[in-house]
Structure 1
Amino acid sequence: MSDFINETAETGRLITIKKISILDIVEKSGVSLVTVSRVLNNVPTVREENRQKVLQAIKELDYRPNSAARSLARGTTGLIGLTLITLNDTVFDGIVHSVNEHLEENGYLLALSVSSPKEEEAGKQNSFLFQEDRVDGIIVLSPLNEKQVILELKRKKIPFVIIDNHLESSKALTVNVDNYAGGYKATKHLLDLGHTHIAHVSGPEHFLSVRERKRGFAEALEQAGVAPCIVAHTDFGIRCGYEIAMGWIQQGILPTAVFAGDDALALGVMDAFRAHGYRIPDDISIIGYDDQVFASEIHPQLTTVRQPTEQMGKEAVRLLLKLIEGSKRNSSVLLQPELLIRQTTANYKHREKQ
C-alpha cells in the first residue's frame, strides 16, 4: 500500500494518506490479480465465491478505481508479459526498465519471465506466460527459438511484439536497431582516423544483430577500398575477446584497430593487447558495441555504439498496445544507433616494432 503526503488546509500540518491500489485488493481478498481485474471489469465468468471476496475487500479498503485500474477494461488481465534469457546485461536491463515505465503510464503491470538459453532452445521458457488469459500481450526480447515462439503465440492468439529478432524475414511485428548502420559507423570512424589494418571480432552468427554489424563493417571497408585484416567469430564475453586477441598476437597478426561486436569482447581484446605491452589507443584503437554500463567507467573509456534502449522499450509498448486495441495498421520499427567517441580510438600512428 503506497503513501502520499497531503497538507491540510485548516492546520497546515502534513498528514500521511494511504493510497489503495489494485494489489492491495489482491492481498486482502486472497485471489489472483486476474480475478480482481475481471471483477472490476464485470466479467461474468468469475466464480461467485471469488467475486464476493473481491467485493468485500473493496468495501473494507474503501477502494476507488483510479485511471490505471480503469484502463484494465481494454484487456482481460491488466498484465503484459516480457520474456528474456538474461538480466546480466545492461542493454536488456535498460529495455526492461523502459517497458515497465511505459506500461505503468498506460495502466498495465509487467510480468517478467527469465529463462536460460538451454531452456529457451528446448521451448520451456514460456510455460507460464504463454497461456491463454494469463496476460493481455507479450513482449519477447531477443528470442533464440523465434520460429517456435511466433507459431505458439499466433496459435494461441496472444498479441505480441519482438524486440531484437533474429530471423531476416520475420512474420512478426518487431522493434530493432539498425545494426548494419552501427557496424558501418564504427568502421567508418576507424577509417576516418586513418586506419587501414582493421580487424573485427564477431559474436555468434545465429544473432541477426551480429550478422548485420559484420555486414556494416564489410561494406564500410569495401567502399574505402580496404581489405579486412581479419574477421574472427566467437561467443560473447570478455574471456572470448581476450582469447581471440591472444591468438592473433601469437600468430603475429597485429591490426592497428579492432571493431568488436560487443563491449565485453572489446574489453577482452583490450586486456590481451595491454598484457603484451601495447598502449590503447596509442598503439591500437578499439571500438565496441552496445554502450554497456562499464564502457564509460573503465580506463581508457571505451568508444562504442550505443543502442537506444529507452526508445526500444517505448516503441515495443506502443506497438503492443495498438495490437491489443485491435489496430491492423502497424509497422515494424527500425531505430538508429549512436556512435560514442571516447578514449580508446585515435588517429593512426606508425607503430614501431615491439
Structure 2
Amino acid sequence: MAKVTLAIIAQRTGLSKFAVSRSLAGKSGVSDETRRRVQQVAAELGYARPSTEPDSLTLGVIFHDTDLINSELHLLIQNGAQSEAQRLGYRLNMSWTHRPDEIQAIVRSCSGAVLVGPHGREGFARAYALGKPIVRQGWLEPLEQADHVGGTDHEAGSAVANYLVTLGHRRIVYVHGTPGYRGRVERFYGVREVLERHADVEFREMKFDADIRFTEHLRAAHADGFHPTAFFCAHDGLALTVMSELMRLGYRIPEDASVVGFGDYSAATQISPQLTTVKVFGQQMGAACVRLLDDRINGRIPADISVRVQITGRIIERASCGPRTTPEVAAPIVPAAF
C-alpha cells in the first residue's frame, strides 16, 4: 500500500500542503471547517504522521560561509527572514556552508530554501534537482530562470552620480576596491551611465590591488592632473578607509572632498564626520525571500514564471558630503613621502 503523504491529502482536499500541515498539527491559520475536513480525509486515507517525517513548515536559509565581506548584510537578511517566517508560521533552518552535499541535504529536509551568497554551480544544481522552491540572494546569469531577491545596485550608482553632480562636483572617482564583486561593478555602470551624459564631468575608476594603497592611486591621479573632489566608494568599509586617508593627508571633509559609501552599516555613523551612504535594506530582503518562498509553496505564482524582487535603496545624507566649495586644484596634493 502506497504511503499517504501531505501532498496526497492536499490533492484530495484541494488545499495547499501548508494548510494541510497546519490543520493536522492543530495550529492557527486555518478555519475549524478546514481543519475538520483535513482530519476526516486523513483518517479515511489512513494517514499517520511519523515522527521522523521532515517538517513541511520548515524553510532553509543557507548562507555562503566564506563570503565575509557581506557578513553584516547577511545578518540583516537573517533577521528579516526570521521575523517573516515567524509571522507566516514557518520554522527556519539557518545554515552556513558552501559544500554542495550539505546544501543538498538541507534543502531535502525543507519545503523550500533561500540560498544567500556566491554558491557555486554544483551547489545550485543539487538544490534545484530536488524540485523544491528555491529563492536566491546573490547574482544570477542574464535571464537565468530562477527566483531572486536583491537590491538596486545599478540604480544606486546612477542616483549617487546625480546627487554629486547636483552638489557641483565635476571631478568624480568611483573607488572600486578589490575587483570581482558583481554588485560593485553594477554600481560603477550606474555611475558611468549618468556621468557620460555630462560633458563637463571627468570621471575615473580606482581599482585596488592588494599591495597598493589608496594614497598611491590618488598620487598617480594628481600626477596626471586629475584632482577629484568627490569619491563614491563601493562599500562603507572602503569609504572609511578613503576618509581616513584623505584626512591624514590634510583634506577637510566635506570642504575639500565629499565621500559617499554604500550599505549604511554600523560603521557609517562611527566616524566623524558621519558617512553619507546608500542604505541597503537587508532585513526587508530577508523578509521578501520568505514571502516569495511562501508564494511558491502555496502555488500563487505560475510554475513557469521566474520572479525578481528588488528592494530599493536610499541615499542617507550625512556630514561627509557637501557642495563643492573649492577649485579642484585647491585641495591638498599628496606628497611623495606618503
TM-score range, shorter chain: 0.7 to 0.9
User: Which segment drifts farther, 128-137 or 336-345?
Assistant: 128-137
Percent identity at matched positions? 25
On the 8 A contact 2:101/2:123 being kept in 1, the answer is no
Residue range with higher mean Cα deviation, 247-256 or 278-287: 247-256
Per-residue CA distance 1:102-125 (angstroms, 9 max, x = gap) = 01112211112223xxxx3xxx2x
Separation (CA, whole Å) in 1 of partners of 2:171 and 2:291:
43
Match of 1:313 among 253, 262, 286: 286
Verify: 1:165 aligned to 2:139, yes or no.
Answer: yes
Query: Aligned letter for 1:306?
Result: K
- 1:225 and 2:199 aligned: yes
Deviations along 1:21-76, one digit per CA (max 9) or x if unpaired, are xxxxxxxxxxxxxxxxxxxx7999xxxxxxxxxxxxxxxxxxx9443899xx9x84
**Contact kept? 2:255, 2:326, Cα under 8 Å:** no
- Give the corresponding residue for 1:83: 62
CA RMSD of aligned residues (A): 3.1
For residues 213 and 103 of structure 1, the distance between their equivalents in structure 2, rounded to whole angstroms, comes to 31
Give the match for residue 112 of structure 2: 137
Aligned equivalent of 1:337: 313
* Aligned mate of 1:247, from 206, 216, 226: 216
TM, length-normalised to structure 1: 0.71
Q: Does 1:266 align with 2:239?
A: yes
Cα offset for 1:173? 0.5
Unaligned runs of 5+ in 2: 1-5, 10-24, 36-48, 333-338
User: Matched residues in 2 for 1:353 and 1:332: separation?
Assistant: 44
Distance 1:213 1:341, change over 3 A: same
- 1:105 and 2:117 are equivalent in the alignment: no
Cα distance, 1:179 vs. partner?
Answer: 0.9
> What is the aligned partner in structure 2 of residue 350 from structure 1?
326
Q: 1:191-219: per-residue Cα shift (whole Å, max 9, x none)?
A: 11110100011255543322210111101
Measured after TM superposition, the shift of residue 252 of structure 1 is 4.8
Q: 2:28 aligns with which of 59, 62, 67?
A: 67
CA shift digits 1:74-107 (9 cap, x unpaired): x844321112235773222111100011011122
> Equivalents in 1 of 2:178, 2:143: separation in Å?
19
- Change over 3 Å in CA distance of 1:171–1:206 after alignment to 2: farther
- Equivalent residue for 1:298, pick from 271, 277, 285: 271
* Residues 145-179 of structure 1: per-residue CA shift (max 9 Å, x gap): 2x334322221212110113243332211112121
Give the TM-score, by structure 2 length: 0.74
**Alignment partners' CA distance in 2, 1:200 and 1:224:** 16
Q: Is the 8 A contact 1:68 1:108 kept in 2?
A: no
| Structure 1 unaligned regions, length at least 5 | 1-40, 45-63
Going from structure 1 to structure 2, the CA distance change for 1:200 and 1:251 (only over 3 Å counts) comes to same
**More RCO (CA 8 Å, sep 6+):** 2
How many residues align? The count is 281
Change (3 A) 1:219 1:226: farther
CA contact (8 A) 1:153 1:159 kept: no
Distance verdict in 2 for CA 1:144–1:129, change over 3 Å: closer
Say which SS state the counterpart of residue 215 (structure 2) adopts: helix
Between the aligned partners of 1:256 and 1:181, the Cα distance in structure 2 is 22
Aligned CA distance change for structure 1 residues 334 and 134 (closer, same or farther; 3 Å): same
How far did residue 234 of structure 1 move? 3.7
